[in-house]
Structure 1
């Protein structure tokens, strides 16, 4: 339940951010640091709306979480889940913190807040939200405060803030992908019974991608496509339990065993926010929306099936 609610909350926040970022301020040219402030200054109406909306979302969400999922409070304690799910949940925490940091930054810039303050605010909002949930976990029976989760939260936030402060752009970004798998029917209460829930709970179906903008890291000529990215992905398969797989049977009552293994991918990608044909406002909106990876051909390696090529979307496993 914890991971399901965390995922749902974070996706709702990202959708809210996307909806409000469409009219954002223009992006600086690639490779050029942005100016210190917005010449038009803070846009009062937008700023008040963002502050009130963010505060309301934060308050209502946490009240609902506390009422629905954190009913029984126990003394604060920690919980070591670093070895669970082949670390997929930790990478998910980093990616979520990155996306929330970027979204918060975009909202601040849309409100007319200067670059430096927007970076700091976006990062702090992401950490505040993620940390509050972890503190709730620390007081909850059956869960606990996860130091691994917090390290991942800080890492994702630092990835966004460090690049935006130093380069004025996101040379490297974190993205999310999903494909259906065969595993949820064996443990629907853990992995989800519907596609929407599986996107949040089935770690076998999730992929996380480190997306690198080629033109920002290699000495390429002026005719090279500035939108071309190269993505490095990670996922896991064969998991129907956190640390190990419990015994399960098929429809005929025969025991089914799954081997757990890691998957590594490489795939081309497009950073659509760098396409000059789009308006500056649309470029900024797209940059935030591209938390979700565009399906593209990929090359996979894992120790069970070796090297595999996938024409477009990863196949169901």
Structure 2
């Protein structure tokens, strides 16, 4: 049995020039010859990502093992995924133009909705690290990570070189978030935050590092949310003022209801072929009791106290929970696979154990 491991895009392959050997000088792209080895059936040479190719003695066909799914693929299957140079060029233009137009439109909309009505100043910075028990910083980490992951998968579709796809797509999230940080820097209401910037770089860097090391995201950042309601009317009113009344506003702004997770896929670390690829273990972080950035106190422009609840304790929460990585569940439907990949940015509702205020607490289902 002959085994060669190749590292290019597993959804794209390209015809290679005929030769009598494998070029191993470029570890990112190994090419198979059209006439190499015999029994290859005259098929053109191809490049792959995450594939191993097997030739069994006496068998005229080559079987390719997709290491991400553990399934063998036939040449007929691979032919359907062939990308010509023209197709690669066209897809690259589509994704490049789509990024420029889509991001520009989003930034114009964000400026109109968020910044336009606030007074502008010269560029300045401020230190918001002490605020919100750093839940907002973890939010920046998560946002940069998922934006980078989404962008990288779009660039994978173009069939470009693996490292280009990782770096261009991988650092997109940090770039997108940093532009927003610059807008904050010119707003009198906020300012450039070095803590936010560092979290953005760390989030994108986490994706890039895993791709370069493992060609996979073994540790995915995920998000979950549950809307908070209180028996005390004053706390509900304060939440409406701070975080908005609508579900979408609460989803984005209410740090009391947000949990961020590092979901660790166990199979690659256990190296057990029988262990389900979709089963993960997740470590979560959140906080509650927060009705102001650093304290539960609010004053009007005249200095009069409008809200004061020092009796409400602000505290951190740590969680441990099983998780399901939907992106590891492969189906024959491209639409369903896309939906599963999108949903893998969110924590699957499962039981959890919480540690907070020095005590453990169990949750039957954690959203």
TM (norm. structure 2) is 0.70
Distance 1:69 1:96 in 2: 18
Change beyond 3 A, Cα 1:105–1:282: farther
Given the alignment, which residue of 201, 211, 214 partners 1:154?
201
Change beyond 3 A, Cα 1:86–1:31: farther
Confirm or deny: 8 A CA contact 1:184 1:192 kept in the other structure.
Answer: no
Say if 2:89 is the partner of 1:70. Answer: no
- Say which is worse superposed, 199-208 or 123-132, in terms of deviation: 123-132
Confirm or deny: 8 A CA contact 1:185 1:193 kept in the other structure.
Answer: no
- TM-fit CA distance, 1:307: 1.0
- Say which is worse superposed, 65-74 or 103-112, in terms of deviation: 65-74
- TM-fit CA distance, 1:92: 0.3
TM alignment of 1:110-121, pairs within 5 A: 110-121=157-168
Q: Compare CA radii of gyration and give the structure with the larger one.
A: 2
**Helix, strand or coil at the partner of 1:143:** coil
Q: CA RMSD in A?
A: 2.7
> Which residue pairs with 1:21 in the alignment?
none
Deviations 1:221-280 (A, max 9, x none): 3211121100000000001111110269xxxxx975421101111000111222355567
- TM-fit CA distance, 1:48: 2.5
TM alignment of 1:47-62, pairs within 5 A: 47-62=92-107
Higher helix share: 1
Change beyond 3 A, Cα 1:259–1:185: same
TM alignment of 1:80-95, pairs within 5 A: 80-95=127-142
Say if 2:254 is the partner of 1:268. Answer: no
> Which residue pairs with 1:231 in the alignment?
282
**Helix, strand or coil at the partner of 2:256:** coil
> Which residue pairs with 2:257 in the alignment?
205
Given the alignment, which residue of 14, 17, 25 partners 2:11?
25
- TM-fit CA distance, 1:65: 3.0
- TM-fit CA distance, 1:146: 0.2
> Which residue pairs with 1:5 in the alignment?
none
Change beyond 3 A, Cα 1:234–1:218: same
TM (norm. structure 1) is 0.80
Which gives a bigger RCO, structure 1 or 2 (Cα 8 Å, sep 6+)? Answer: 1
- Say which is worse superposed, 221-230 or 75-84, in terms of deviation: 221-230
The unaligned stretches of length 5 or more in structure 2 are 1-9, 13-48, 51-66, 71-80, 230-234, 300-306
Confirm or deny: 8 A CA contact 2:297 2:308 kept in the other structure.
Answer: no
Report the number of matched residues: 280
Distance 1:277 1:68 in 2: 39
Say if 2:287 is the partner of 1:242. Answer: no
> Which residue pairs with 1:311 in the alignment?
364
Confirm or deny: 8 A CA contact 1:273 1:282 kept in the other structure.
Answer: no
Distance 2:236 2:157 in 1: 41
> Which residue pairs with 1:18 in the alignment?
none
Given the alignment, which residue of 182, 186, 189 partners 1:139?
186
**Helix, strand or coil at the partner of 2:151:** helix
Deviations 1:18-42 (A, max 9, x none): xxxxxx938832499xxxxx96255
Say if 2:245 is the partner of 1:193. Answer: yes
Confirm or deny: 8 A CA contact 1:184 1:193 kept in the other structure.
Answer: no
- TM-fit CA distance, 1:118: 1.1
**Helix, strand or coil at the partner of 1:43:** helix
Distance 2:236 2:96 in 1: 39
Change beyond 3 A, Cα 1:43–1:242: same
Distance 1:146 1:99 in 2: 20
> Which residue pairs with 2:313 in the alignment?
259
